[in-house]
Structure 1
C-alpha cells in the first residue's frame, strides 16, 4: 500500500511540474508582410551570354501557424508551417554606359504560392518584450510569371544630349502550365533565417518587427539551362497571436 501511495504521489508531482513547465505552451499564429531585395547570381549558362549579376525585389503576405512548446522559463520552441503569397522580381544584366557597347537584359517576375517550415527559438525578456530566431525553408510555387529579355544600348540623344541607357525588350506572360513546360524544376526553393522582436499588448497578442536573410534557388529553362540564384534580405512587420516565452 505504501508503494502504491508513493507511486501515486510521484505521478501527481510529475504532472504538476509538467503542467507548470508547459503552462505557456499553446497555439501560435502570425500574419505579416515581408518586403525585401535580392542580389541575383546568374548560373554559368546565363553568364556565357554576357549577363551579369543584378538586383531585384520581393513582397508578399505570410501566415505562420503552429504550436509553441515552453521548454523552461523565458524560453520556448515553436514549430510553424509557413504559407502565403510572394511576388519576386529577379533581374540579371548589364545596362549600357557611355563607354560600353551595350549589354544583355534578362529578368523575370513570379507570382507564387509559398509553402514551408520555420522552427523558431523564442526568448522572453519579461514583461511585454520577446525575441524569436527562426531557421527554415520551403518552396515557392509560381502560378504566373512574366519573362523579359533584350539588349541595352547607349542613346546619346537622351537627357538633352547628355545620353542615357535605352533598351529593346520583349516580354511574355506565363501561366502555371507554361512554367511547368519551360522550366525544370518548376518551383523556387528557398532557405532563410529570421529575427523577430515581439511587443505584446496582452499575454497573447502582440506586434512583431523583424528582418530576414536567406537564399532563393531559381528555376532553369529546359532548353538552354538559363537561370540563377539570389541572396535575399529584407524587413517584415506583422501581428502575432500566441503565448509569451
Structure 2
C-alpha cells in the first residue's frame, strides 16, 4: 500500500507542477459505467498450497471530478479525482478446491488524463492513475472436494461478510488498484460529450491474516459515460 500512496502522490505533484503555468480551461466532470473480465493471480502463499489462476469479472459506476488545464490548442491535461461503487468477483482453483470471493467496495483514487482535440466533435483522452477500493461487504466461498468427482466428499463453506468481518479476516482490509484508460469523446456541444472507452488495470488484493493467502488480478474491459467540461 505504501507503493500505491507514493505513486498517487508523485502523479498529483507532477500534474500540479507541470500545469501551474498554464491558463485554466475549466471544471471537468465525468459519470461512467465500466465492466470487464478479471484474471486472478494467486500470490506466493496461495501457489504454495496449490492454487492457480482463475477468471472473474468487475463492474463499477464512478464519477471523475476535477479540472482541465489547457496547454495549447488541441491539447490539455486533466487532474481528476475518482470515486464511486465497484463490484469485484475473484476466483482461484486447485486440484481439490476452489475459492471465490466477491466484494462491494467504495472506490477512491486519482486519474490524470491527457486530452487531445481533433477539432469539431471529436476528442481523445489517455489516462493513468490508481487508488484504493474499500470493501464494505461481500462473500467468501470455499468448495473443498477431497474425493475428486465424488459429491459425498465435498465440503462447501460460504460466508457473508460485513465490513467488520473483512477487517478481522484480511490485512490490509483494502484493495489497491492501478488503471490505464483510453477514451473517445463525441461532443454534442462545446462542453457535453459521450464517452466510449477501454481500460486495463490491476488489483493488489487483500491477504488473509491467517496464512497470508491472497489474490491479485489483471483487468480488461469497456467503459461508457458522459463528460461535462471544455474541449481540449
TM-score by length of 2: 0.86
1:219 is matched with which residue? 206
Structure 1 segment 91-240 matched on structure 2, within 5 A = 91-94=91-94, 102-152=95-145, 153-154=148-149, 168-240=155-227
Which secondary structure does the structure 1 equivalent of 2:149 belong to? strand
Are 1:75 and 2:57 counterparts? no
Q: Deviations over 1:1-48 (max 9, x none)?
A: xxxxxxxxxxxxxxxxxxxx847x100000000001111111121112
- CA contact under 8 A between 1:51 and 1:103: conserved in structure 2? no
TM-score by length of 1: 0.81
Q: CA deviation at 1:155?
A: 5.7
Which secondary structure does the structure 2 equivalent of 1:154 belong to? coil
**Deviating runs (4+, > 6 A) in structure 1?**
none
Which secondary structure does the structure 2 equivalent of 1:63 belong to? strand
Identify unmatched segments of 5+ residues in structure 2.
1-21
Q: Deviations over 1:24-74 (max 9, x none)?
A: x10000000000111111112111222111111001201000000010000
Identify unmatched segments of 5+ residues in structure 1.
1-20, 95-101, 157-165
State the distance in 1 between where 2:154 and 2:189 align.
Answer: 54
**Number of residue equivalences:** 208
Name which one, 1 or 2, has greater alpha-carbon Rg: 1
1:85 is matched with which residue? 85
Cα distance change on mapping 1:49 and 1:200 into 2, 3 Å: same
State the distance in 1 between where 2:229 and 2:34 align.
Answer: 20
Structure 1 segment 34-53 matched on structure 2, within 5 A = 34-53=34-53
Q: CA deviation at 1:150?
A: 1.5
State the distance in 2 between where 1:75 and 1:144 align.
Answer: 41
Which secondary structure does the structure 1 equivalent of 2:84 belong to? strand
Q: CA deviation at 1:103?
A: 2.6
The RMSD of aligned alpha carbons is 1.7
